[in-house]
Every structure is written in C-alpha cells, then in structure tokens.
Structure 1
Amino acid sequence: MDLRLPNSFSPSSGDNFAIEKHLYASSWQTVAGTDEAGRGPLAGPVVAAAVILPRRGETSLWIDSKKLSPKKLLLLRSILMESDAFIGIGVSSVMEIEHINILQASLLAMERAVLNLSIQPDCLLVDGKFPTHIQLPQLPLIKGESRSASIAAASIIAKTHRDQLLCELHEQYPQYNFAQHKGYPTREHRNAIKKYGICPAHRRTFKGVKEYVDAASAPR
C-alpha cells in the first residue's frame, strides 16, 4: 500500500519533519521512518532501523548519518536511545544477501526493523525508490535522510549498530581490519583480500570478492 503527498505539498525550508507533520495532520496516528546501512560493503550484514520520533521535539538534530563524524554519530545515537522515540533494528545476513540480492536483503532488514518496534506504526516512510513488503501504507523517498527526520534518525541507528557488528567481526578476523573500514571496498580492504583470501563474512556475489571464491573453495 502506498502513500502519496499531494501535488500542492511544499515543506517549509529547513523543516525536516514537515512530511511527518503533514501525515499526522491527515489523520495518521503513528509515522515511522526506516533506513538501512551497509548496501555497498564487500563484507558483513546489512542493517536497518525503524524510528518513530515524538510528535513534539527538536528534529533538526537528525540528519543523514553519512554527513556525521563517528563521534557525533555515537552522541546522537545515545540521545535517541534515551529519548521517547520508539526504535527497532533489523539485520539481514551475508547468506541472505547472497541468496536474495542486496536490494531484497535491505528491504527485508527494514521489514524486520519495523516488526521489532514496540508499537506498530500505521504508515511508513522508506528511504529509497522501493517500498518494503510489509503490509503498511508506505511512502518511498529518494534521499529520504535529507527529507525526513524519522528516516535520518533511523539512518543513525542503523549505521552505528552496523559499525558495532563490524567491530565484532574484526575480533574474529583481525587481518582484514574491519573495525577501520567496516567492510567497504577501500584499498586496504582490497589488498587484504588479495593477501589473505576471503572469510565467511565476505559477500561472495559481490565484485571484488567473487573473483576469490574458487580459490577459497579449493583444497589446500
């Protein structure tokens, strides 16, 4: 089920909660935003979060996680976790990414995040072009982190949770230095793959990894 904004809708400049305000004024009771982190890396799961922000409160804090320093990300995560916001987190594994592709795995992680909210929203703002498969009215928003405080807040939770998971993977596979690059295809990461081969945390269907799959499967 899709939501649509009227053609006449024109949010006030700088108001990143304008879409949510419009939906609340249109009789929707609980609006959640959802976003994912980790579509581009060569290793690790994709993580999503869903956030329902309080109707009243300061929303200018919540901006796209990609524009924030690691220190600011952790600070904002802490503020969110201690606020009256409702937060759900969903994860889609490397195996799921390989079996259903990264887009579908991202949508699945978003669905899990929504289902992990302690209250069920009655509509959903989704970052990107595509709605999830969950049975809720939805509004996909391209560059949603810049247009919706709820999506931006979700991006902060998803990013920091995924970073934590990659730091845990670093403990298992320190040779790749996942704690530094979080699985993204940096030069350091690519060079580590060339030197050490791949590990179970790598996405074997991704360019930059799949070239090494046969070598990893060969008897030694």
Structure 2
Amino acid sequence: MLIRRQTLRFRRLVLGAAVAAAVLTSAGCDADGGDNGAKSEAHKAGSVVAPGKPGEPARTLSPSEAVKEAGVDTPNSADVRYVQLMIQHHTQALELTGLVPTRSRSATVKRLAERITAAQQPEIGAMEGWLSRHGLSGQSGKHDHGAMPGMATADQLEQLSATEGKAFDQLFLDLMITHHQGAVTMATDVLSEGNNVQVEEMAGDVVAQQTTEINRMRALSS
C-alpha cells in the first residue's frame, strides 16, 4: 500500500512538473523570437528531475519523457473491472441501509446508515461518470455476486428484511461489516493492479473510510 501511494505521488509530481516544464519551454521560445540559444536554455530550464529508486540516483528527463515516465493514467482492465463491480457493490450497500429507518431501533445505527448512504450514493455517481468519460457508459452490467467479496446473499437480504429491533441491528451490522471488508479487499487489489489515477484516488478513499466504519460497527456489535 505504501509503495502504491508513493507511486501515485510520483506520478502527480512528474506529470505536474512536465506540464510546468512544457509551459516554460514554450514561453522561452516565444519570448526570444525563436533564438536557438534561448531555446536551448529554456529546454534546460524545463527539464524534470525524477527521483530514482532506492539506492539509485535521480534522473533528468525532458517534459515528454516525464509524461511517459508518469504513465499518464490510461485505465487498464483492473481499473475498469473495479469500477464496474464497485458500482454494484455500493448499490447493495444502499439496499441494506435503506432498510434501517423502518426496522432499526438504534439511533446510533440509524446515524451510521445515514453516513454510509451519504458517502456511497455520490461515489456511485462518480464511478458512473468515470465510465462515461472513458467511453464505457452503460457497461457496468450485471455481474455474478460471487465475483464480489462481501456481498450479502439473497437469503440474507430476505432475512434482514423480515427482522426488526435489536435482532435487525445485529444482523445489519454483521452483514455490513462483511460488506465493507469486501469493498476494502477490492479497493486494495486495484491499488496494486490498476493504472488510473482517479480510480486509485477513489479506491484509497474506500479503504480509509470503510476501514474506519468497520471499526465503528465492530464496537457497536460487541
């Protein structure tokens, strides 16, 4: 996880530096009317220093090399699969929290469910927007629930729907803890396998937020 975060920070650093370097190079050329010496100096000023791997020296890259080094953020199959599956995963979480207002007797559980809904509803919109921007709109499709860790079964959903009061609260917490653990697993996987910066950011948010909520729910269910 730490290595992946360092890689993400490196991508942002290099990509941002490359953009700035390109602007400096262009400005240098325009200001000097195309003088070759000025161009050369601008090019040097626009170089990007990329930190080396542990034990290796830093490298000086041109703006174009820096962008290539950063890997930009072209989505790979792991990114696409994560977004498609997580939309369905979040959708079931909203199905679970949607039962809370009329069946729970715990104000604490109700507030928890409200927070989960408030967080995951916009995340679904963000992921659907991501698919649309990458020409994958409408391709979230329906996937086998068995392909997603933590998903509640049809029998478990039926049982939860037929329960009220303390029994409901306990079952809800049990199912939601498992559901969150599955989401963290999916997010952790894409952080190590994916390539897209925005997906990495979304997955990082899932890990941080849902790990905190898992700990809170465990305390409530004990």
Q: Which TM class, normalised by the smaller chain length?
A: under 0.3
Larger radius of gyration: 2
Q: Which has the higher contact order (CA 8 A, sep 6+)?
A: 1
Q: Comparing both structures, which one devotes a greater share of its residues to helix? A: 2
Instruction: Output the TM-score relative to the length of structure 2.
Output: 0.24
TM-score (norm 1): 0.24
